[in-house]
Amino acid sequence: MRLLGRQGHGLPRPQRVIYTQSDLGAVHARKSRGGTEQMPELHGTVADAVQGNWVDRLAPPVTRPYLRLARADRPIGTWLLLIPCWWGIALAAATDGPRLSDLWWALACTAGAFLMRGAGCTWNDITDRDFDGSVARTRSRPIPSGQVTVKQALAFMVAQIAVSALLLLTFNGASIVIGIVALVPVAIYPFAKRFTWWPQAFLGIAFNWGALLGWVAHAGSLSLAPVLLYLSGLIWTLFYDTIYAHQDKEDDALIGVKSTARLFGTDTVKWLSGFLVAVVALMTAAVLAALLPAGAPPLVLVLALCAPWGMGWHMLWLLRQLDIDDGDTCLRLFRATRDTGLIAALFLAVAAIV
């Protein structure tokens, strides 16, 4: 491959990209002398899978490719989709006190996050099947490795969305509308890396929709506070998904896939530092916008303000460990961002309860 010319932002333009086919030898049947086909056990775990996960240990073999397609073996994505839902519910409850229904919203969002994350990953793998087959970390995913066909994946995606829709119907009318609209950024995201250097922003738009949904489930309508909370989550996604994208920057450059990791390059730490400040500022503004007009007691206000500042300190701790050229470190720090979000969720929940 030869790099010629330059794209926007001074990055080289790939020419004559060579795509490497996935090795399907472990997947496709081998014909025996008698003409019958032997189908071996399919493991198909990708490089960033959690070793010894419950899918490998407990799930029936026939279900494993589908569970891997939904990333059930890697729950970090479900956490990152779920946590903003909890933020929204807890911040809304802090304004006028918790209700028993909030427990149902939290549980329904938990199940919905698992299902919609699975549906989104399935859709992402359908649209990216050619790219995934050309990247070492993803070439053993179920579709490029031949464990699941595109038609089977589509049927699986529809089934996950259908169950999620049943859960959504238990919410109020405004929440249902917000939940339906959320499908738009989910559908667009897999294509973003083809036309923008900021696909992580599209992921943030999709992944933090739960902040709006959770607030409206409790409050019944939107206001400034949940919008600010949503924006803080969006910037948080830019922070953690840029770290994640540094694992694939060499392969992405070869196949022409864009990302903020490639865009920022050696300036990544500077950008992430700016995102850190923005996350803290926006979530602080969200807390103040929600609680000051509601006349919240000082203790509630202080506890809620610990959410953005706790997040900020944890993000700073992660940033100090970052080595953008060490894929293992990037993956470890990406997974640790679950705790960043849970810190905020914990403080907001305590503020709602006291």
Instruction: List the domain boundaries for the chain.
Output: 63-353
pLDDT at 52: 63
CATH C-level class of 63-353? mainly alpha
Sequence-ordered list of residues with C-beta below 8 angstroms from that of 92, at least 6 positions apart, any chain:
214, 215, 217, 218, 219, 226, 290
pLDDT at 166: 96
8 A C-beta contact, residue 110 and residue 214: no
pLDDT at 81: 96
| 3-state SS record for the chain | CEEEEECHHHCEEEECCCCCCCCCCCCCCEECCCCCEECCCCCCCCCCCCCCCHHHHHCCHHHHHHHHHCCCCCCHHHHHHHHHHHHHHHHHHHHHCCCHHHHHHHHHHHHHHHHHHHHHHHHHHHHCHHHHCCCCCCCCCCCCCCCCCHHHHHHHHHHHHHHHHHHHCCCCHHHHHHHHHCHHHHHHHHHHHHHCCCHHHHHHHHHCHHHHHHHHHHHCCCCHHHHHHHHHHHHHHHHHHHHHHHHHHHHHHHHCCCCHHHHHHHHHHHHHHHHHHHHHHHHHHHHHHHHCCCCCCHHHHHHHHHHHHHHHHHHHHHHHHCCCCCHHHHHHHHHHHHHHHHHHHHHHHHHHHC
pLDDT at 240: 98
pTM: 0.83
Chunk the chain into consecutive blocks of 10 residues (it has 354) and report each block's average pLDDT, rounded to whole numbers. 41 38 37 37 47 78 90 92 98 96 96 94 87 71 88 95 96 95 90 92 95 97 97 98 93 87 96 98 98 96 98 98 95 96 98 95
pLDDT at 9: 46
Report the relative pairing of strands 37-38 and 30-31 from DSSP bridges: antiparallel
Phi first, then psi, for residue 252 (nearest 5°) are -60, -40
